[in-house]
Amino acid sequence: MNKLNLAIMAVLGGITIFVIKLMAYLISGSVALFSDAMESIVNIVASLLMLLSIRISMTPADEDHRYGHQKAEDISCLIEGLLIVMAALMVILASIDRLFDPRSFTDLTLALAISLVATGLNGALSFALARGARRSGSMALEGDAKHLLSDVISSLSIVVGLLLAELTGWYVLDPLMALLVAALLVRMAYGLLEKATRDLMDHRCPETEVIIDKVLRGQEELLQYHDLKTRRVGGQVFAEMHICLRADSSMAEAHDLTERIEKALCDEIPGLTLNIHMETEKEMEG
CATH topology of domain 206-285: Alpha-Beta Plaits (3.30.70)
pLDDT at 188: 78
Tell me 272's DSSP state. E
Domain boundaries, the chain: 3-200, 206-285
What is the third-level CATH fold of 3-200?
A: Alpha-lytic protease prodomain-like (1.20.1510)
* Cβ-proximal residues to 137 (8 Å cutoff; 6+ apart), any chain: 234, 235, 236, 270, 271
Q: How far apart are CA 89 and CA 24, in angstroms?
A: 21
pLDDT in tens, the chain (286 residues): 677 788 888 889 889 999 998 898 888 888 778 877 877 887 788 788 878 887 887 788 788 877 777 788 788 778 878 877 887 887 787 778 777 777 777 777 888 889 899 989 989 998 988 888 888 777 778 877 877 887 787 788 778 878 888 888 888 877 887 788 788 778 878 887 888 888 788 788 888 899 999 988 888 777 788 899 998 876 678 899 998 888 777 888 888 888 888 888 888 888 788 888 888 766 655 5
Q: Please answer whether residues 11 and 51 qualify as being in contact, where contact means their C-beta atoms are separated by less than 8 angstroms.
A: yes
Q: For the whole model, what pTM was predicted?
A: 0.65
Domains 3-200 and 206-285 share a fold: no
Query: Could you give the angle at the alpha carbon of 139 between the alpha carbons of 33 and 16, nearest 5°?
Result: 35
